[in-house]
Amino acid sequence: MSSTPRPELRVGFIDSKAARYAVEKWHYSKRLPVGKLVRLGVWEGDRFIGAVVFSWGANHNLSSQFGLRMTECAELVRVALRDHQAPVTQIVAEAIRLLKQHSPGLRVVVSF
């Protein structure tokens, strides 16, 4: 019995149009939040499978719970994925790694 290998998982920055497409197609809310967002696209091989979106969140006091400034805290606001093979935990972990690389002052990511 041979198993089919999983396609390579890739995460990278995308524009608002691609993020909006993923959220409207594959997220239950069908809405991309407004405000300052970090939008990351997800691919398995060459196939676009969705988006992971971070923001400061709706609660601008979220960071104060941790004794941090607003710019040191992000909220995971959308995970919008079509059918895929990689575990969601792996996808989110890759997205957080990329977010941390490009936001060196970030100290906390919150997910509700």
Per-residue pLDDT tens digits for 12-54: 999 999 999 999 999 999 999 988 899 999 999 999 999 999 9
Residue predicted with more confidence, 57 or 79 = 79
pLDDT at residue 61 in the model: 76
Distance CA 77, CA 60 (A): 14
pLDDT at residue 68 in the model: 84
Phi-psi region of 41 (alpha: psi -120 to 50; beta: other; left: phi over 0): beta
